[in-house]
Amino acid sequence: MLVVPIFIVLLHYGYSIVDSQINKYIKVPNMHFIHMYAHSCLWHTLSFCWSLTLVLKYTDPNKWWQQIPQIMSTSEWLFLNASLAYCIYNFIHTDHRRKGALIFYAHHVLTLLLIVFAYAVGFVQVSIVILNVFDVSDIFRPAARICNTLAKAGHLKYKTYAKVLFILFATSWMLTRIILFGYIIYQAWMSKPMALCAEQGCPFGFNSIRDFWDVIQMPFIFIMSGLYVVLWIWTLKIYLVLVHPLIYVAITKIKD
């Protein structure tokens, strides 16, 4: 965990370099929005690619719940620390005046708890899988917002790109954050691990993974379920954006 502050500093200076490069090629009002969305898009693209190299090794979902506490590789350790640093950085820089700030804070806190929980009890594989699942839709969302901001600034060709990217975002959100993440929660609820703990022994004096799991199962599910509720609130908002134009057209036709 001591490496987290280093990652936070790297994020700060890395974003500054990105901002300076963006300013060379883009000149529109509200540049701070362009910077903010570019930061998010860049991080989630890198995070998705990094975590995917790890997730491809976890071919058997049944093993996500075995050999706990799982021994972290160097890459897994660095990834979890970098993800923790990003969550803390986002939490600090979230504008409390923005619309829906409480939902953002709740999401960041629960994600932080998930990562810390992964450290505490050794849920390495499933936690990295969840973070990978979350990254997919977060690549399209800021990209769509960048295109939308550019379209509002007069670059009309980006309006079509914004619509396509938003549809990709809404589709990937439903597939990954609602369906796939819901399946992971279901797996956590139904799993009954029978294997012994890893060679270093079970934490807190437990003799087997089964005894350990009986104690930590509900807190783990509680954290994931809290995230799931937050995601459903966002889902309703996302699909209201999609449905609203259709409702407007329907009402207009009825009035006519």
Phi, psi dihedrals of residue 198, rounded to the nearest 5°: -60, 170
Could you give the CA distance from residue 228 to residue 178 in angstroms, rounded to a whole number?
7
**Whole-angstrom distance, CA of residue 80 vs CA of residue 179:** 24
Per residue in 149-197, pLDDT (tens digit) is 888 888 888 889 998 998 899 899 999 999 999 988 888 787 665 444 5
The mean predicted confidence, pLDDT, of the chain is 81
Residue type present at position 256: D
Domain ranges of the chain: 4-255
Q: Return the pLDDT at 210.
A: 62
Window from 30-44, 88-102, 111-125 with minimum mean pLDDT: 88-102
Residue with tokens 């990937």: 172
Residue 139 reports pLDDT greater than 90: yes
The per-residue pLDDT for range 59-78, each reduced to its tens digit, is: 776 667 666 667 788 898 89
